[in-house]
Amino acid sequence: MKTFNINITLKREQNDSEFDDINQVKSEITSWLEDLDFTVEFNTETYHEKAKDILWEYVSYSDIPEIASRLDNEAKT
């Protein structure tokens, strides 16, 4: 069996209700690929989320108050 890992960024100029929901888009893509006998799995974790998870392993406990403060300030803007 051959496995393909594909990262896709989708942009649509047209704003219509047909594809407002990402689950509808996933469903369409899944059905197209399954028609071609592919098995489809979606990994919705983004690169940035993975990077944050890794970076947290290198943060010392003494840095956490500063990080929390900066996050609070970002949330207010």
Task: Report yes or no on 31 lying in a domain.
Answer: no
Please write the tens of the pLDDT for every residue from 5-50. 887 877 777 776 666 777 888 888 899 999 999 988 887 777 777 8
Residue 53 inside a domain? The answer is yes
Residue 10 lies in a domain: no
Residue 70 lies in a domain: yes
| Residue 18: per-residue pLDDT | 66
Give me the pLDDT at residue 12, please: 76
Whether 17 is covered by a domain: the verdict is no
Residue 43: which of 11, 6, 12 has the closest Cα?
A: 6
Task: Tell me if 26 is assigned to some domain.
Answer: no
Q: How far apart are CA 77 and CA 55, in angstroms?
A: 24
The answer to whether residue 62 is domain-embedded is yes
* 71 within some domain: yes
Per the structure, how many domains does the chain have? 1
pTM given for the model:
0.46
The boundaries of the domain holding residue 67 are: 47-76
40 neighbors 34 (Cβ within 8 angstroms)? yes
